[in-house]
Chains A and B, each alone.
Chain A
Amino acid sequence: MWLISSRIIDRARFSPSVFKRFHQVSSPLGGAGATLTRGVSTCSNSTLQSDGGALGDFLGIVGLSLGVSLAATAVAAAISLPLGTALAIFSFRGRRLLVVLLNAFFGLPPVVVGLILYLALSRSGPLGLLELLFTPTAMVIAQAILATPIMTALVHRASERAWARYGDELICDGASRMQAIPPILRIIRAELLTAGLAGFGRTISEVGAVILVGGNIRGLTRTMTTAIALQTSQGELSLALALGAVLVGISISISATVFALAGSARIAGSDEA
């Protein structure tokens, strides 16, 4: 993490102008940003932070984007890893239909997910009592819904191949099908990485759902993508573009970091499966 955040700080040093107007779009409430900033003691430009401002706000937005997307990816992973493998191992009526549906939901329009969740979480909706509308939690739920199908489908596809090759062996060793899920997941761990990155990519780049259920509230639910939308609506096109570049940079950094970590953990390639 520190690697990523210090890269952002570096960027900030190179182009402070990007942050100048940031006090307009974000707020000193950005707790995650403050936490990140505190962690990175190399950040010497204390004036930018103490006046409430621009850099701290920017980090708040970046922190929220990363936090929401990673949390959503984690939730989606908790569902899709066992589900995707189970779909490959167990055979039951309607399995094919379920797989077809999962693949169809790749194209689930975020704005539709956002709208349905909005109505459900509204105070006058069925889940209104939870008071979740316009909170980061609502954004995590929306993005987890979006990431789960694609991650499940990728896990399923990899598990199918691994099951075809190692399934008999595992069963012969006396494992039940339920007990076979963890070893299968271990065999396909390289593909899990791809699934995780696909889920993360789906969530971090998303704007339609989070702007509906989050409300793009400054300092609370404003993410990179909703901030870009807002900047564009204020005619600040160059600032919006700069934010977009940072978002792409972060995505690249995350992907590179994950692959580097995976390499150091000596996760084998897909040749095993």
Chain B
Amino acid sequence: MIKTRSLWALVAVFAMHCGTVAAQSIVLASTTSVEASGLLTKILPPFTAKTGIAVHVVAQGTGKALDTARRGDADVLLVHDPEAEQQFIDEGHGGTRRQIAWNDFIIVGPSADPAHVRGGNDSVAALKAIASVQAPFVSRGDNSGTNAAELRLWKIAGQAPGTPIREKWYREIGGGMGQALNAASAMDAYTLTDRGTWLSFQNKGSLVIAVEGDPRLINRYDVIELNPQKHADAKLGPAKVFADWLVSPEGQQAIGAYRVNGERLFNPSADKPR
């Protein structure tokens, strides 16, 4: 009996907990790179304190985040794959799209550097070199923004476009950015990562930056509101408040102020989209 009673007490406590959720809340479908960088953890509390809108972040790859919104399960998007975003808008799901920040992708690899690409700034040449010596390369393989960027680079490098290269050294892990870095670290492999996740990642092992500074490696983050005609059920009002805040001077300042080990992870760019 004691057991039963304490169990029900706990269920009751839990039920009360469910009832304490903020009055207004929106679901933000975002990407694993944004989540892993820790940016939202930093900038959301002041936003919620100011507006009373709780933002529930569901971190997925950009492709999955867009799908979640297509099904109507998200109220607003923060993603980084311009081509997939355009398609989303063309299908009539997306409304206003605004760039909030940019950073860049980098290619990281083992310090032993079997492909001899370290120190360069030509990402395509580096991929060619990696392919020619068949050095292990980890691909996200999850239809994310980073995955899309990687496949675009392989295409420029002259590899089979779109279809993943079916070679032993090319390893699709089908996971988030952190998982890919964990895998690359364990396998002494190269991989493409966004700088934000890289800087806040704690399990680098022997991985070091191999290639950076290529203009083709720019990584743009956009906030996308939904099209009210297709998604009337979504919480469009609070979603707009959130999107407006991200591009406002206050939101931009918060994004720019976020640093890990003194390094700025996201460069605010609402005024001057890149």
Q: A24-B41, A29-B21 are in contact. Are A234 and B1 (CB under 8 A)?
A: no
Of B52-60, B84-92, B266-274, the one with at least 4 CB within 8 A of chain A: B52-60
Kindly state the separation between the CA atoms of A235 and B202 in the bound complex, as whole angstroms: 5
Kindly state the separation between the CA atoms of A235 and B38 in the bound complex, as whole angstroms: 13
Q: A122-B71, A236-B203 are in contact. Are A32 and B56 (CB under 8 A)?
A: no
Q: Is A258's CB within 8 Å of the partner chain B?
A: yes
A29 touches B54 (CB 8 A): yes
Q: Is A134's CB within 8 Å of the partner chain B?
A: yes
Q: How large is the interface on B (under 10, 10 to 19, 20 to 34, 35 or more residues)?
A: 35 or more
Q: How large is the interface on A (under 10, 10 to 19, 20 to 34, 35 or more residues)?
A: 35 or more
**For the complex of A and B, 10 pairs with smallest distance between CB atoms:** A235-B203, A67-B14, A233-B178, A123-B72, A32-B17, A215-B58, A31-B20, A235-B202, A31-B17, A217-B56
Residues facing A in B1-47 (CB within 8 A) are 1-3, 6-11, 13-18, 20-22, 27, 32, 35-36, 38, 41, 45
Q: Is B73's CB within 8 Å of the partner chain A?
A: yes
Q: Is A64's CB within 8 Å of the partner chain B?
A: yes
B175 to chain A: closest residue by CB: A233
Q: How far is the CB of A76 from chain B (nearest CB, A)?
A: 12
Q: A71-B11, A235-B182 are in contact. Are A220 and B21 (CB under 8 A)?
A: yes
Note all chain A residues with C-beta closer than 8 A to B234. Answer: 123
Kindly state the separation between the CA atoms of A44 and B71 in the bound complex, as whole angstroms: 47
Among A136, A216, A236, A265, contact of B59 (Cβ-Cβ < 8 Å): A216
Q: Is B179's CB within 8 Å of the partner chain A?
A: yes
For A159-183 the 0/1 string (1 means CB < 8 A from B) is 0000000000000000000000000
Note all chain B residues with C-beta closer than 8 A to A124. Answer: 71-73
Q: Given contacts A70-B7, A122-B72, A261-B3, could you give 18 more A-B pairs where the C-beta distance is less than 8 Å? A: A32-B13, A67-B14, A68-B14, A71-B14, A74-B8, A124-B72, A124-B73, A134-B56, A137-B18, A217-B56, A217-B57, A218-B57, A220-B54, A233-B36, A235-B178, A235-B204, A265-B2, A265-B3
